[in-house]
Amino acid sequence: MPHLRMTGRGLWITALIVPPLAFVALFIVYPIISAFAYAFFDWQGLRRGDFVGLENFHTVLFVEPYRSWTINAFKNNVIVFFALMVLQNGLGFILAYALWRGLPGARFHRIAVFLPVVLSTIIVAYLFKLFLHPLFGVVNISLRGIGMGWLAQPWLGQGNTAIWSLIVAQAWHMVGFPTLVFLAGMQRIPGEILDAVRMETESEWVKITGIVWPLVAPSATIVFTLLFVGAFNWFELPYIMAGLDGSPFGSTDVLGLYFYRTAFGNVSSGQQDFGLGSALAVLIFLFVAVIASVITVRLRAREIQL
């Protein structure tokens, strides 16, 4: 049996590792596990009732009105995910490519693109809410100013524009992150490989699709996975910009808001229900975990050793 000696070094390591481990266990691992447990019980306010097996899961998935709410929120999350994939990651890739090719002012733009990421979501959400104000918002004022007043509208007040307004705000907020990751990936491509492509084609399109994109696959894996997780856990920005009900009429409702409402209650939906909320949380967690693992494994397979 190996003899473990408590040296001064070992003590130090223990002293440094135990507190954060305890913290993580107490505030992250324990709540996750208890949420799993809560989902199988009936709840009366804060008081735990009987064990009900899978009934809470059945309710949120198949019993009206929960069923429609779940489907609506999930549908919105899917829209958000795909829209951000195009807007945030797509734009991020293009921005990264432009920065990488050293277009004029690249140094300034590298900072400018990343700055919004540093801002708090609350600030960004509040700013965009002001921008999009139907009467005093800078968006509508600008539209009227350039003679396109017919385009001015209550962006956050209509079902068909509200979710897209939120998506644009989110993309503006976070586009710097994929940009930075893609840029780092591009900077890892050896210069001579790029020279070799230039000897064979002058088409930027071929360079991007044939060489650059395949070679930044590791960055894409990270960015896709994080976006997926982020899109299905989306909460702060819609909460601040559209409120807890996903107004108007649930058009901006997403799983995060819906879960919060169900578990903790609010003015319009009445009482809280930890059981249903936990069931929702477990479903969201399982869905995100499974799909994120699949994405990661599938994308890993096409990564290339440079």
Partner 1 sequence: MAQLSLRGIRKRFRDTAVLHGIDLEIGDREFVVFVGPSGCGKSTLLRLIAGLDPISEGEFVLNGQRMNDVPPSRRGIAMVFQSYALYPHMDVYENMAFGARLMGLDKAEVESRIAEAARMLRLEPLLQRKPRELSGGQRQRVAIGRALVRKPQVFLLDEPLSNLDAALRSDVRLEIARLHHEIGGTMIYVTHDQVEAMTLADKIVVMNAGRIEQVGSPRQLYEQPANLFVATFIGSPRMTIIDVVREGDRLAMAEGGSIAVTTAPSADTLKLGLRSDAVRLEPGTTGDGFAGQVIYTEYLGDNAYVYVRLADGTLLAARTAPNDSFPPDAPVTVKVEPGAGHYFSAEDGRRLAP
Binding-site ranges for partner 1 (CB under 8 A):
190, 192-193, 195-203, 206, 210-211, 214-215, 217, 304-306
- Tell me the closest approach of the beta carbon of residue 58 to partner 1, in angstroms: 47
Cβ 277 vs Cβ 210: under 8 Å = no
Report the C-alpha gap between 145 and 149 in whole angstroms. 7
From residue 137, alpha-carbon distances to 128, 134, 141, 143, 175 in Å are 9, 6, 6, 10, 23
- In terms of CB distance, is 31 or 190 closer to partner 1? 190
- In terms of CB distance, is 203 or 293 closer to partner 1? 203
Phi, psi of 52 (to 5 degrees): -120, 10
- Tell me the closest approach of the beta carbon of residue 210 to partner 1, in angstroms: 7
- Tell me the closest approach of the beta carbon of residue 191 to partner 1, in angstroms: 9
DSSP code per residue over 183-231:
HHHHHTS-HHHHHHHHHH---HHHIIIIIIHHHTHHHHHHHHHHHHHHH
- In terms of CB distance, is 198 or 298 closer to partner 1? 198
- Tell me the closest approach of the beta carbon of residue 129 to partner 1, in angstroms: 44
H or E stretch including 4?
Answer: none
- Tell me the closest approach of the beta carbon of residue 304 to partner 1, in angstroms: 4
How many other β-carbons are positioned within 10 Å of the β-carbon of residue 162?
23
- In terms of CB distance, is 155 or 182 closer to partner 1? 182
Sign of the CA dihedral with 244 first, then 247, 249, and 253 last: negative
- Tell me the closest approach of the beta carbon of residue 185 to partner 1, in angstroms: 13
- Tell me the closest approach of the beta carbon of residue 224 to partner 1, in angstroms: 18
- In terms of CB distance, is 173 or 207 closer to partner 1? 207
CB-based contacts of 236, cutoff 8 Å, min separation 6: 121, 122, 125
- In terms of CB distance, is 137 or 218 closer to partner 1? 218
Q: Select from 115, 237, 107 the least CA-distant residue to 176.
A: 115
Radius of gyration of the chain (CA): 24
- In terms of CB distance, is 143 or 217 closer to partner 1? 217
